């Protein structure tokens, strides 16, 4: 709506599975162009949160607003059209297509050409697709089958796909998981650069604290479905509760769930 | 009133066999994840075996002993089948598993005719249950009462088996989480074999128990399997309680449907099934499949449009095909016309299967609706050929719009079973609604317009229409829509996350494929001059699947080659042997187990290897090695 509304506002988001309270009354917001990290131990509810933010699962309670507009009950495709790009913890790409075609599908959808039955897709928006690939340093991979990419390359491809609709907000669930340490740093630097250049808000989850503290302007800490701390990287670092979870004292601190949910 | 009570009790009695077969199917699916199409065949074998054994063994003990022995014998056959065939295909895509077990069904159908002859066999009455009892002044066979009791008894016995025995607990654990059982160190092979045998035992028992009630014949397998599919779709695959509840529901709907819609009783079952699917897509007691299964078509090198040279080659082949009437006789031309029409049919199914990842087991429904559309317009409205050809396929389109709406809500085996059930419903309507469709006698006397009345001209017309539509399908595969369809197949999650409404895309693809099949059906009606319910039948649907498989599911247009080879082979085979089902069934199994890529798929692979080898020898060894390592990743 208005130019200054936060890109994302979340209020009292709640979801439980049977007896497990995956997410409990989570509220926060992300300003335009702001880079925010959502951290927490395994099973804290980060992915569940993301899934509710982009409409993949309906929350039990709570509201989600994008640029001032309520999107709580919208399916992912509608949320995407409002300007949200998403990457998944476990990459989801089109493995039978080439790398370029993966981007072209997203571009065609963005241009509302999904139901066009006659145009030739291999020629569709090639330039734009290659430009996006260039942005994530994958220009040389355009004609490679996506199914044979290494995992780190898939993560970068997902980023390029997520950028195809000129998003206002990127939701990145563990964008660097499964990558070598050097690659991680490079990828997050790339994300931060693109986000600053294009004023894209970024909400990302991450287990590598170096990555978090280098790039996040603000950090949200989730534990057992609840937001337990929020603030600048420095203040969160000093927070005793957070230290309890992350610095091994967690053994004393009610033990945390280590179910390693994926998704 | 009393009439309704008896009708209700008859329905309950019919539910018994249906429940036995459906629960067997569910148990097997729960552990092995295979939907055993051959379950109907095992049911039929149980009935035939029981017929023979109860004839040989005399007395009460002989009868009941014969029933149980029959079921045990068939279970042993089932175990052998599991060890010889199924073990090889547990990791294959669902489509292949369904097809292989369907091939088995075909083989059993012919074997049964060889062993027991083609005529209906009337079994012995059950000792102790020969009479009828009086229910409010109406007669109810006492054997029906026995069956009414058997259903809940078996349900209870299964419950005990699964909760009170170690084997049962293992089976339940495996149904919930297969990896866990593997981790427990249980011998999986033995577990799978025993589960399969147990499921087959239930099916065969269901068949054996039918013999005092119904004649035994060699078509009972398909009749029961369709009902069973409806039952598990409604009840939920993998749930025994669901199988029981749905078996009762479906049997009662059949019993009372006759009263509501005497001509088209099956409609009632359809309406209920549709309602259940809207509210609970995975059935009343079923759970959503969490892990998406591999669909055929997802392990390919990226597709690409034809190069210029390839287009020229295709044009030459087309020109050669078009010149056939210049040197071929009338018989050759009519065979060629049939092949061309079936190539179009196969191409439409292939589009749905390869690009859409949706393996329809009832694609003939739309072919047949196209045929009936033409026939009804020509016979009832006296419309000219041009109108019929344009408007007739609209019936197929309408069918695809309605059935497709429900079918695309499901995927994998559920989709296959549902499409099969829909096709069977369409078939029943054509079969039962005699006033309009002529029933079994079909509709005769559909002649093409004078302009295309010679075999050669009709061939050219069919060739032109088929070629144009095949080209259109290819254009669609490479259009944004085709990519959206493939995107949904590859990762529905990612598709949704980039704005693609997967269900709608699949629905439209379903309608496109159905409509093109209907055009093929419309041409077929004119080729034969008549339409019969067979044109909607299971065997035609499966013919289509085999054509696609033979050509190569993972190719863009392999189905055309598959259709040509298969149809030619079929016509030749029928002229050579009485046992075409046996041969066809064997062919399907061999294809699935040994040759899953199909003809075009194999050819592409060979060309690819040759090309790579040529590159290897052309480039310096180190670079070639690097490239090979790259592509091996
Ligand atoms: N579909 C589901 N059904 C049942 N429980 C679920 C489901 N999805 C998540 N959970 C549970 O909800 C909790 C939060 O899971 P979630 O995946 O959101 O955690 P996460 O913070 O993303 O963890 P990770 O760092 O391992 O990715 C976990 O306890 C998980 O077991
Ligand atoms: Mg997660």
* Cβ atoms < 10 Å from Cβ of A199: 11
Q: What was the pLDDT predicted at B325?
A: 93
C-alpha closest to that of B500 among B520, B485, B514? B485
Q: Give CA torsion, residues B237, B239, B243, B244, to 10 deg.
A: -170
User: What's chain B's length in residues?
Assistant: 633
Does residue A223 surpass a pLDDT of 80? yes
The stretches of A65-142 forming alpha helices (DSSP H) are 76-81, 99-110, 126-135
Query: In this complex, do A92 and B497 lie within 8 Å of one another by their Cβ atoms?
Result: yes
Task: pLDDT band for A212, please (50, 70, 90 cuts).
Answer: confident
Judged by a CB distance cut-off of 8 A, whether residue A124 touches chain B is yes
Low-confidence ranges of chain B (pLDDT < 50): 297-298, 621-633
In chain A, the residue whose alpha carbon lies closest to the alpha carbon of B301 is A96
CATH topology of domain B2-279: ABC transporter involved in vitamin B12 uptake, BtuC (1.10.3470)
Distance A259 CA to ligand 1 centre (A): 8
From the CA of B496, how many Å to the nearest CA of chain A? 5
Mutate to test the interface with B, among A105, A155, A157 (most CBs of B within 10 A): A105
A57 lies in some domain: yes
Contact between B240 and B23 under an 8 Å Cβ cutoff? The reply is yes
Q: What was the pLDDT predicted at B295?
A: 52
Query: In this complex, do A120 and B479 lie within 8 Å of one another by their Cβ atoms?
Result: yes
Query: In this complex, do A94 and B633 lie within 8 Å of one another by their Cβ atoms?
Result: no
Collapsing DSSP states into helix, strand and coil, what is residue B256?
A: helix
In chain A, the residue whose alpha carbon lies closest to the alpha carbon of B476 is A117
User: What is the per-residue pLDDT across B147-170, written as a single tens digit (0 to 9) for each?
Assistant: 999 999 999 999 999 899 988 888
Provide the token pair at B473: 């399908």
Instruction: Give the number of domains in chain A.
Output: 2
Residues A64 and A178 in one domain: yes
Provide the token pair at A83: 């300007």
Judged by a CB distance cut-off of 8 A, whether residue A123 touches chain B is no
From start to end of chain A, where are the E strands? 8-17, 20-30, 35-39, 61-66, 69-70, 84-87, 169-173, 201-205, 218-223, 226-231
Judged by a CB distance cut-off of 8 A, whether residue A257 touches chain B is no
Provide the token pair at B491: 């990762």
Place of tokens 């079936």: B342
Q: Please tell me the number of the ligand nearest to residue A44's CA.
A: 1
C-alpha closest to that of B365 among B430, B462, B283? B430
Query: In this complex, do B478 and A114 lie within 8 Å of one another by their Cβ atoms?
Result: no
* Residues in chain A closer than 8 A to B496 (CB atoms): 56, 75-77, 80
The DSSP code for B353 is I
Residues A21 and A47 in one domain: yes
Q: Give CA torsion, residues A10, A12, A15, A21, to 10 deg.
A: 130
Which whole number is the average pLDDT over A151-158? 92
Domain boundary among A138, A167, A196: A167
For ligand 1, atom 18, which residue shows the shortest CA distance?
A: A45
Domain boundary among A114, A141, A167: A167
C-alpha closest to that of B444 among B335, B337, B526, B342? B526
Residues A64 and A136 in one domain: no
Q: How far apart are CA B425 and CA B272, in angstroms?
A: 13
Q: How far apart are CA A13 and CA A50, in angstroms?
A: 11
Judged by a CB distance cut-off of 8 A, whether residue A119 touches chain B is yes
Residues A75 and A142 in one domain: no
Distance A258 CA to ligand 1 centre (A): 10
Domain ranges of chain B: 2-279, 314-539, 604-632
For ligand 1, atom 25, which residue shows the shortest CA distance?
A: A42
Which whole number is the average pLDDT over A45-63? 94
Q: How far apart are CA B143 and CA B123, in angstroms?
A: 13
Mutate to test the interface with A, among B355, B473, B494 (most CBs of A within 10 A): B494
CA atoms within 13 A on the CB side of B18: 30
From B299, B302, B499, residue closest to A81, measured CB to CB: B499
The DSSP code for B304 is -
Residues A98 and A74 in one domain: no
User: What is the per-residue pLDDT across B216-229, written as a single tens digit (0 to 9) for each?
Assistant: 998 899 889 888 98
A191 lies in some domain: no
Provide the token pair at A137: 């340093």
Produce one character per residue of B435-449: b if its CB has 16 or more CB atoms within 10 Å, e if not: eebbbeebbeebebe
C-alpha closest to that of B388 among B521, B293, B496? B521
Query: In this complex, do A121 and B483 lie within 8 Å of one another by their Cβ atoms?
Result: yes
ipTM (interface predicted TM): 0.91
From the CA of A257, how many Å to the nearest CA of chain B? 20
Quick one: B512 exposed, middle or buried, by C-beta within 10 A (0-12, 13-18, 19+)? buried
Q: What was the pLDDT predicted at B621?
A: 46
Q: What angle do CA B65, B70, B71 make, to 5 degrees?
A: 105
Does residue A245 surpass a pLDDT of 60? yes
Does residue A260 surpass a pLDDT of 50? no
Ligand 1 mutation target, pool A21, A48, A51, most atoms within 8 A of CB: A48
In chain A, the residue whose alpha carbon lies closest to the alpha carbon of B471 is A118
Q: What was the pLDDT predicted at A249?
A: 43
A176 lies in some domain: yes
Residues A59 and A178 in one domain: yes
Nearest-10 crossing angle of helices B220-235, B240-260: 110
Query: In this complex, do A119 and B479 lie within 8 Å of one another by their Cβ atoms?
Result: yes
A194 lies in some domain: no
Residues A49 and A134 in one domain: no
Domain boundary among A136, A167, A198: A167
pTM equals 0.89
Distance A11 CA to ligand 1 centre (A): 20
Judged by a CB distance cut-off of 8 A, whether residue A126 touches chain B is no
Expressed as residue numbers, the domain containing A130 is 93-167
Query: In this complex, do A93 and B490 lie within 8 Å of one another by their Cβ atoms?
Result: yes
Q: What was the pLDDT predicted at B132?
A: 80
Residues A57 and A97 in one domain: no
* Residues in chain B closer than 8 A to A103 (CB atoms): none
Distance A46 CA to ligand 1 centre (A): 8
From the CA of B504, how many Å to the nearest CA of chain A? 10
In chain B, the residue whose alpha carbon lies closest to the alpha carbon of A122 is B478
Which residues line ligand 1 at a C-beta cut-off of 6 Å?
A 17, 20, 22, 40, 42-48, 89, 257, 259-261, 263
Residues A221 and A154 in one domain: no
The β-bridge partners of A98 are: A145
Size of interface A-B (CB pairs under 8 A): 123
Q: What was the pLDDT predicted at B264?
A: 65
Q: How far apart are CA B271 and CA B226, in angstroms?
A: 16
Residues A42 and A97 in one domain: no
Residues A173 and A60 in one domain: yes
Place of tokens 């629905």: B507
Residues A132 and A122 in one domain: yes
Query: In this complex, do A108 and B484 lie within 8 Å of one another by their Cβ atoms?
Result: yes
């Amino acid at each position: 709506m208005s130019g200054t509304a936060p890109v994302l506002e979340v209020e009292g988001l709640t979801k439980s599975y049977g007896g497990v309270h995956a997410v409990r009354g989570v509220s926060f917001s992300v300003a335009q162009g702001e880079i925010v990290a959502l951290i927490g131990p395994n099973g804290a509810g980060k992915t569940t949160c993301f899934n509710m933010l982009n409409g993949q699962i309906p929350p039990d309670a709570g509201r989600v607003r994008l640029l001032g507009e309520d999107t709580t009950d919208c399916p992912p495709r509608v949320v995407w059209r409002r300007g949200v790009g998403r990457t998944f913890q476990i990459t989801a790409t089109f493995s039978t297509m080439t790398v370029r075609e993966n981007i072209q599908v997203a571009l065609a959808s963005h241009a509302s050409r999904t139901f066009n039955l006659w145009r030739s897709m291999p020629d569709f928006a090639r330039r734009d697709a290659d430009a996006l690939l260039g942005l994530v340093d994958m220009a040389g991979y355009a004609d490679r089958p996506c199914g044979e990419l290494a995992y780190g390359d898939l993560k970068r491809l997902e980023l390029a796909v997520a950028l195809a609709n000129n998003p206002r907000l990127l939701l990145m669930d563990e964008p660097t998981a499964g990558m070598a340490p050097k690659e991680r740093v490079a990828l997050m630097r790339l994300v931060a650069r693109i986000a600053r250049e294009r004023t894209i808000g970024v909400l990302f989850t991450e287990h590598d604290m170096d990555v978090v503290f280098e790039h996040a302007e603000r950090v949200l800490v989730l534990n057992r479905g609840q937001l337990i701390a929020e603030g600048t990287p420095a203040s969160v670092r000093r927070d005793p509760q957070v230290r309890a979870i992350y610095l091994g004292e967690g053994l004393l601190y009610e033990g945390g769930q280590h179910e390693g949910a994926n998704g | 009133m009393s009439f309704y009570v008896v009708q209700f009790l008859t329905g309950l009695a019919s539910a018994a066999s249906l429940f036995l077969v459906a629960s067997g199917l569910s148990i097997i699916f729960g552990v092995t994840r295979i939907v055993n199409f051959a379950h109907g065949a095992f049911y039929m074998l149980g009935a035939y075996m029981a017929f023979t054994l109860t004839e040989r063994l005399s007395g009460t003990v002989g009868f009941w002993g014969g029933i149980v022995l029959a079921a045990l014998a068939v279970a042993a056959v089932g175990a052998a089948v599991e060890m010889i065939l199924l073990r090889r295909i547990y990791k294959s895509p669902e489509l292949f598993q369904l097809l292989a077990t369907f091939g088995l069904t075909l083989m059993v159908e012919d074997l049964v005719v060889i062993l027991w002859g083609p005529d209906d066999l009337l079994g012995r009455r059950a000792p102790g249950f020969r009479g009828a009892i009086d229910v409010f002044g109406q007669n109810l066979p006492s054997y029906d009462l026995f069956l009414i009791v058997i259903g809940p008894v078996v349900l209870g016995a299964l419950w005990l088996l699964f909760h009170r025995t170690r084997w049962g607990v293992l089976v339940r654990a495996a149904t919930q989480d297969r990896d866990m059982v593997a981790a427990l160190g249980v011998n999986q092979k033995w577990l799978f074999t025993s589960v399969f045998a147990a499921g087959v035992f239930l099916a065969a028992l269901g068949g054996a128990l039918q013999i005092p009630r119904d004649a035994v014949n060699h078509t009972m397998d398909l009749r029961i399997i369709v009902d069973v599919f409806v039952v598990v779709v409604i009840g939920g695959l993998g749930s025994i309680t669901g199988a029981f509840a749905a078996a009762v529901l479906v049997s009662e709907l059949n019993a009372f449907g006759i009263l509501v819609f005497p001509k088209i009783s099956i409609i009632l079952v359809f309406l209920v099934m549709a309602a259940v699917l809207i509210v609970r897509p995975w059935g009343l007691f079923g759970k959503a499949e969490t892990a998406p299964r591999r669909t055929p078509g997802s392990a390919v090198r990226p597709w690409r449009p034809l190069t210029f040279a390839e287009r020229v080659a295709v044009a030459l082949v087309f020109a050669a095909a078009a010149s056939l009437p210049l040197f071929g006789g009338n018989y050759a031309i009519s065979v060629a016309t049939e092949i061309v029409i079936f190539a179009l049919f196969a191409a439409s199914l292939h589009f749905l299967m390869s690009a859409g990842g949706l393996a329809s087991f009832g694609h003939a429904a739309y072919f047949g609706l196209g045929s009936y559309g033409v026939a009804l317009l020509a016979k009832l409205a006296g419309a000219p050929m041009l109108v019929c050809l344009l408007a007739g396929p609209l019936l197929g389109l309408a069918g695809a719009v309605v059935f497709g709406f429900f079918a695309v809500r499901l995927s994998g085996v559920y989709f296959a079973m549902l499409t099969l059930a829909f096709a069977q419903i369409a078939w029943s309507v054509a079969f039962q609604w005699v006033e309009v469709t002529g029933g079994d006698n079909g509709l005769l006397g559909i002649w093409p317009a004078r302009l295309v009345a010679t075999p050669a001209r009709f061939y050219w017309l069919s060739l032109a229409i088929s070629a144009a539509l095949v080209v259109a399908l290819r254009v669609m595969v490479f259009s944004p829509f085709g990519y959206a369809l493939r995107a949904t197949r590859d990762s529905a999650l990612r598709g949704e996350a980039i704005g693609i409404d997967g269900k709608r895309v699949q629905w439209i693809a379903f309608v496109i494929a159905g409509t093109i099949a209907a055009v093929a059906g419309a041409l077929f009606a004119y080729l034969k001059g008549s339409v019969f319910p067979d044109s909607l039948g299971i065997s035609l649907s499966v013919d289509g699947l085999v054509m696609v498989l033979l050509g190569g599911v993972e190719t863009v247009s392999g189905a055309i080659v598959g259709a040509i080879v298969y149809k030619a082979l079929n016509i030749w085979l029928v002229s050579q042997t009485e046992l075409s089902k046996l041969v066809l069934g064997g062919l399907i199994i061999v294809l699935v187990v040994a040759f899953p890529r199909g003809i075009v798929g194999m050819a592409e692979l060979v060309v690819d290897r040759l090309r790579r080898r040529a590159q290897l020898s052309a480039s310096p060894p180190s670079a070639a090695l690097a490239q090979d390592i790259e592509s091996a990743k």
